[in-house]
Structure 1
Amino acid sequence: MDAGELAVRWAAMLDGAVAPTLTRAQVEQLLARFCPRLIAAVRGAADLSVAREAAAALVAANYRDPLAVHRSVLVLCKDLVTAVCPEAECADYWPVRERAIELAAEFAAEFTGGLRNAALAEQETTLSAALTAAREAEARRHLSEARFQAIFEGASVGIGTVDITTGTVIDVNNAMAETLGVPAESMPGRSVADILGPVNIGEAFALFQQLLSGEIDRFRFETQHTKPDGSHTVVDLSMTIVRDREGKPRFLVGVTVDVTDRKQLADQLWYDAHHDSLTGLPNRLLFFDRLAAAGGQVGVCYLDLDGFKEINDRRGHTAGDRVLSDVGQRLRAALPANAMVARLGGDEFIVLVENCSGQAELTAVTDRLLAALEDPFDVAGLLVRVGASIGTALVDTDATAIDELMHAVDTAMYRDKALRHRTNLPPLTQPPDTGLS
């Protein structure tokens, strides 16, 4: 599969994801600009930043559907790998696959940022239009009131006005009512505190009181809102004082945007970018983020599998992936509450033990990890065994700069790994015991 065919395949995958500004042929042309560099990047011959450029181009082309991210990640992790390594036994298969996952993570991170920026820009435009119309309504009432009313009633974001002297609602549009889950006709004349209800009184209400007292002129933040029916939404809330020509406060304008879907998409993209797609474990990026944030003494266990290559060679990568997935689950289940396991890539795993009391605790964790791998793994009716080699290190994060910390961990892990007893258990290939003779 060459770059042109990859672009056609990608465009086909994006069919159904809403992008009304482009035709199918235009989508293929857009993607064709990036596919040669993506292929070069997955081969290690080009920078990974091309994935971010491709994501930014799709967001700019009005791809805002989460389906576009999902299908693009599939293309980067599957079709791109196939384009470079048509056969799973290709010598560069694993390095290519790892770089493809990194490309997908870069793509997802840029797409998330692009969606957020686009949403914020749209909200800022709407808020600016609403405020401009409100000021014009005060200065040239007969001309501007109709314009403001059209924006007010037809806006897709929630807009409400509040009396600055009493703190009661003057008017709200239907979008505001839908966001808050309260009928629009029931809000005018009621206080903001009464409308929000006790469960939602918090930071927003405190900032609202500062607006009424004149301590601040505006505020904006995201908050979780509980509707009267018990459902939850994430709301981006802005509130601003509208003043007359002399600078005297006249009323407050509030704008709400339901960002629940965007927040969920951002959370999912963050998860995908920080977790291994095969095992579901944290990946290298999340592991080193946790290590950098840790305080005090930490323990690190570096683990690679013995006998795994033989399983891949004899049973194929599908069997190998199944074993890696099961290994990840066993390791996670074996750890205490203060430890996390991440997959670095291939058959390499790493464990972080936070607030580690010393070598005795680290040794106990190591023994639990080895014990978790003692039982054979069932792969399509065959039992296979893998052993493990583990190197360990104890590091005082409070006394060590992050760069020195990484070097100390790396050096100590490989030193201990070379000295530690290796559990060389040859893979078994036999059917599981069914108890039948």
Structure 2
Amino acid sequence: MAGLAVPVWLAEDDLGCIICQGLLDWPATLPCGHSFCRDCLKNLWGARGAGGAGRPWTCPTCREGAAQQPRLRKNTLLQELADKYSRALRELGEDAAPASSPVPARAARPPHRPAPRQAAVQKNIMEVGRELTELVEQLVDIVRSLQNQRCLAEPGPDNELGLLGMVNSAGRGKDLVTSNTSEGKMRDVLHDLEEIQVKLRENLTWKEASEEQTQVELPEAPSSSSCPLPNQSLPAPKKASRFAPWAINPTFDLQTLSCSLEVSKDCQIVTVAHCPQSYPWSCERFSISQVLCSQALSSGQQYWEVDTRHCSHWAVGVASWGMSRDRILGRTIDSCCVEWKGTSQLSAWHMVKETVLGSDRPGVVGIWLDLEEGKLAFYSVANQEKLLYECTVSASAPLHPAFWLYGLQPGNSLIIKQVRV
């Protein structure tokens, strides 16, 4: 091994690029502190048209932007760590290889491509189902994007995939949509994909419900011996939330809704739109993919839940109505949130400070706001609430439920969920 053992605290995700999902190659660190492969970053900015039509050079992780293109310099420390990690993995493979099949001692560095992820070995059926659902949703988005060529001809600041623009730049866009035959086939494909998407979602929801039922703990036996015990051969019913007496049902405020988002008729589902929406001008509207709820919470205790399973990058929390409309949730002193990043990291943001909470993704997040004691708490909700993070908040100004969705993934959605009673 020659002293190249991988430290127990170092994982592939720590040295990974979220754009290509591989080990960092020629890592460049942006002013915000996030690092990516230089070529990946350049290609992504080129696809978004950064620098033109008022589009800033933004960080793919935190969306912090700059009016001028940042100078990309090689982070030599990260490069050295990635090289050592790669060499250590190769030598670990050599040690495990049979003697009859020797491996060269100093294999050349492989070409830059997504490295095999160790977590993939541990994926269960549920995770594979979620990935299939997300892939089908992306296919549906692609077909819809091609059908809506006029709508996507002028993408907004958050619709940065620019898929149709990329196709047109390759000289193939018109050929794909001009033929009536092609349009008919495209409609058939979209119909088939939507049917598959519905079936996958139904199957995934059923499996998640079954998994939750099998994990439910039996309730404590009542003190009275005259009360019969439940039939243990049957799955125990879901327990009511202990926060049910304080449950509220917030609704999204349309004045604050970003033009890159759209909401359901009941204002309890927010989704990243496939093209910029032409909402009336409002000084309260966010310029990035965020929205507040209408309810101003200024006293007492309140609790609500958010289903995050259909969103790849998100943040949920609270903010004052005066939060700057061009700032990201949690990056201001009057907002607080928990945030899930596509790099398998859950963080909390409070007073413009990030606290890493771990790598477990909560499917449903419960938010408990106690303004009498000045406390805010976030819970992972499955069969019972599990505390994720707790902090103090000030009741000097009313707080509103607040949401951020990653604007690069049309179809991503957050749902204000009914609390179990």
TM interval, shorter chain, is: under 0.3
Scaled by the length of structure 1, the TM-score of the pair is: 0.20
Bigger relative contact order (CA 8 A; separation at least 6)? 2
Scaled by the length of structure 2, the TM-score of the pair is: 0.21
- Structure ranking higher in helix proportion: 1
Higher Cα Rg, which structure: 1
